[in-house]
Homo-oligomer: A and B are copies of this chain.
Amino acid sequence: MATATIIDGKDFAARLRAAIAVQVADLKKAHHLTPGLAVVLVGDDLASQVYVRNKGIQAQEAGMNSFDHRLPTTVTAAELLEKINQLNQDPAVHGILVQLPLPKHIDADAVIDAIAVAKDVDGFHPYNAGLLAVGGAGMVPCTPVGCLMLLKHQLGKLAGLRAVVLGRSNIVGKPMAALLLREHCTVTIAHSRTHDLAEECRRADIVIAAVGKPQMVKGDWLKPGATVIDVGINRITAPDGKNRLVGDVDFDSAVQVAGAITPVPGGVGPMTIACLLLNTLTAACRQRGIPVPEVQPAAE
């Protein structure tokens, strides 16, 4: 039985970061501009600390300035908004990311709303969500941008292909659907209330799984040859008693049917930070009125 091409997101992301580093070096030389990424972390959630640390390291490796702002869990909403306001004003900061989730006493929507639209490198601000919907040039959330890059790398043009997006979060599902529509796919958004998820999947040339349910999408849900992008990152206890990361797709059965598939880990995950750096580069150029460079991953 044929098995799918494994889409190596880790390698692709590394080559993308290398290409970004080249552009950053050019910007420094030609425009004396060093893109700066500010990450705000509230509280001491361990997973969030790891994410924030990795974002900082990778920004620096790409030649960018990285600014970490740690605030205690007890910070007030007013203090956090004041911090964001400072970063909005700071000309050395081109991208601002507030690590989610925030403590419950803080209204996350109000915080996201306070970030300057031009510096909103997570693309979560409603104005940027709206620009994505209506076709303007805003900031697009990092994970869907990464998924789209992998898809285009694998398939070339996507026009006319049938895409199913499983999941309708503001962070992945909805912006992913908007991006696929922009690429002229016929797009279906399916979710927990969909009557027959398997049937929706079986019609699709492209399946984006972003539901947070471990190994939900089985091989027999797939159209033979489909391209499968697995956004899920779920920690499960394997039969041997060990913890293991798995996606929303049952890889072992899916790999027998799909044409191409991203693994978990090593698929979509590494693309997210790479695309955050790409957004920061884009934001820096726009804020300085410099044409945004076309960044293509370095050669394989």
Binding site for B on A (CB under 8 A): 109, 124-136, 138, 159-160, 162, 168, 170, 174, 177-178, 181, 184, 186-191, 193-195, 200
Contact = CB atoms under 8 A, between A and B. Distances in A.
Given A127-B130, A130-B133, A188-B189, 19 more contacts: A124-B134, A126-B130, A126-B131, A126-B133, A126-B136, A128-B130, A129-B129, A130-B130, A130-B132, A132-B133, A133-B178, A134-B170, A134-B174, A160-B194, A168-B181, A174-B181, A181-B191, A184-B191, A186-B188
A105 B162 CA distance: 38
B130 A131 contact: yes
Contacts of A168: 181
Nearest to A199: B203
16 contacts: A125-B130, A126-B131, A126-B138, A127-B127, A128-B130, A129-B130, A129-B134, A133-B178, A162-B195, A181-B191, A184-B193, A186-B188, A186-B189, A186-B194, A186-B200, A187-B189
A272 to B, nearest CB: 19
A133 B170 contact: yes
Contacts of A128: 130
Contacts of A193: 159-160, 184, 186
Nearest to A193: B184
Interface centre among A177, A184, A189 (most CB of B within 10 A): A189
Nearest to A125: B130
Nearest to A178: B133
Q: Mostly helix, strand, loop or mixed at chain A's interface? A: mixed
Contact of A174 (B133, B184, B188, B190): B133
Contacts of A138: 126
Nearest to A197: B186
Contact of A135 (B162, B170, B178): B170
A186 B195 contact: yes
A204 to B, nearest CB: 11
Contacts of A189: 177, 181, 186-188
Nearest to A162: B195
Contacts of A190: 186
Nearest to A131: B126
Give me the 7 closest cross-chain CB pairs, A-B, nearest first: A130-B130, A126-B130, A129-B130, A184-B193, A188-B188, A186-B194, A129-B133
A174 B177 CA distance: 11
Contacts of A132: 130, 133
A170 B130 CA distance: 10
A140 B160 CA distance: 28
A255 to B, nearest CB: 26
A190 B188 CA distance: 9
Contacts of A135: 170
Contacts of A162: 195
